[in-house]
Amino acid sequence: MPRWIWPGAIACAVVTAATLVATPVLAREIGAATRATEPASAAPAAAPAAAGTPGISVSAAHGTITWTSVYAAGIRFAYIKATEGTSTRDSSFNANYPNAYYAGIIRGAYHLAVPSASTGTVQADFLASNGGAWSADGKTLPAALDIEANTSSGGYCYGLSVSGMVAWITAFVNEYHARTGRWAVLHTTASFWRVCTGNSTAFAAHSPLSVVHWDTSAGTLPAGWSVYTFWQPTDCQPVSGVTGCAEGSTFNGAVDRLVALANNT
């Protein structure tokens, strides 16, 4: 972005109550070359294309958004950038978040991870205190952790070892859960997950997956997940109400299941 689910093998999947209990529950502003291609060997599960509920991911980089027009265009959910690293707050969040809500869009906040800047605990607290909290109002999704390849100095994995990255993500999701009662969505690519976490399977049991794969299907998923909750198929989705284009997203299910995810039911 400018980061539970229900089985993706069936388009607009029907989810059992057991799945919801087991899985309670955008993309980094990086070049297309980094995220558009994911090798087929990155993880054991290959996800099929699925018709689902359309959404977008946005930040201040997308300018002033007319959310009533976004809703009229058929968009039913949005992940909206709230925070980045240790101290950066998105300048449009305080307008985008309530305006999306009042337009009828189910929305969640996302945090752009900078693991080299501070601990996962510190960054989860920063998110939860600055727009990333959760409420059972039917329109608030659990926040997402956008964790992808580092394109600045410090190395692809932010200078962390595989064990260090797994520990960082663990600290983030645990602290976010302690603060909100929800497990953060993990928004990532199969290649980052393979290289930087060593294909860790430690998070799939509780954190929903939002996979970045710019193609006609979600491709091979990061290790541990057999299905995705969200899939970002493009970084440029033309949408009425957004100047230029937004980052596209698809929820792997019908709107009623999206509401169930928002309500943690």
In 3D space, the residue among 211, 210, 141, 128 whose CA is nearest the CA of residue 172 turns out to be 128
State which fold the 17-263 domain adopts.
TIM Barrel (3.20.20)
146 pLDDT exceeds 60?
A: yes
Of 6-20, 78-92, 170-184, 243-257, the least confident: 6-20
In sequence order, the 6+-apart residues with CB closer than 8 A to the CB of 188 are 3, 146, 147, 148, 209, 210, 211, 212, 222
Predicted local confidence at residue 1, as pLDDT? 59
For residue 3, pLDDT over 70 is answered with no
The whole-number pLDDT of residue 176 equals 98
- Contact present, 23 and 206 (Cβ < 8 Å): yes
DSSP string, 145-192: EE-----STT-TTTT--HHHHHHHHHHHHHHHHHHHSSPPEEEE-HHH
Written as one letter, the residue type at 52 is G
pLDDT of residue 11: 37
| DSSP helix/strand/coil, 201 | coil
Name the residue with higher pLDDT: 222 or 152. 222
Q: Is residue 154 over pLDDT 60? A: yes
List, for residues 40-65, the tens digit of each pLDDT value.
Answer: 334 344 444 447 999 999 999 999 99
User: Could you give the residue ranges of the DSSP H alpha helices within 31-161?
Assistant: 32-35, 67-72, 93-102, 120-128
**What is the pLDDT, as a whole number, of residue 74?**
97
